Amino acid sequence: MPTIAIIGAGPGMGLAIARTFGSRGYDVALIARTKEKLQSLVDQLAEEGITAEAFPADVLDRPSLTAALDAVRARFGAIDVLEYSPAAHSPVPGHSLAAPSESTVDNLQPQIEYYLYGALTAAQAVLPAMREAGAGTLLFTTGGGSVDPVPMLGNVNAASAALRNWVLNLDKELAGSGVHAAHVAIGVWIGGGGPEGFPTATPDEIAPLYWELHENRDRSEAVFTA
């Protein structure tokens, strides 16, 4: 059975992506900070006939993230698809939002740790085996501000744009290797409770993009807008 590892898994996009791949025969490894919350997702997927398991780790704790991915391989074997999507609208200790003119080294560095360094760590943990196998997909998610920046998210947009740039460049480097990297920019509020007038979409409406990018090896980016 092929395996997808979802980093930043939660009850929204993480669960929808798990269902998208799990319904197509993938085993699912769910990685996030809280084991209890992950286990509830595992139980939901099990009811739908999808094999899943929880692997607690924090993307800000790079050794724990690497250890979790090692544990995924020990449990399921090779990781065929890696998806990285720490939830941008979830509160993270020590993180704050700042406009471009208010962005500082101090409030930008945590965002870079969260988006770029976490993604780099995850990729480094799985890429050598993918290259050796000549197959694999690396999917990375940011908000739409990585493409079309929003002033109130100045520091977040800068970090996520750095991740986007790296992913697109990585895909160029991997051309012809059988390994594919792609970026998803989500330019809508996911689910309910968003700002008035802001476009929204459900996780189930967005998740098929991930399968499309996995299947279409020539496409390195998808931008979801209303």
Q: Parallel, antiparallel, or unpaired for β 27-32 and 52-56?
A: parallel
153-169 CB burial, b ≥16 within 10 A, e <16 = bbbbbbbbbbbbebbee
> Global pTM?
0.94
Given this model, what pLDDT does residue 196 score? 75
| pLDDT at residue number 109 | 93
> pLDDT by residue (tens digit) across 28-80?
999 999 999 999 999 999 999 999 999 999 999 999 999 999 999 999 999 99
Assign 102 a pLDDT band (cuts: 50, 70, 90).
very high
| Residue range 119-136: mean pLDDT, rounded | 98
CA distance 112 to 203: 25
Q: Is the pLDDT of residue 199 over 90?
A: no
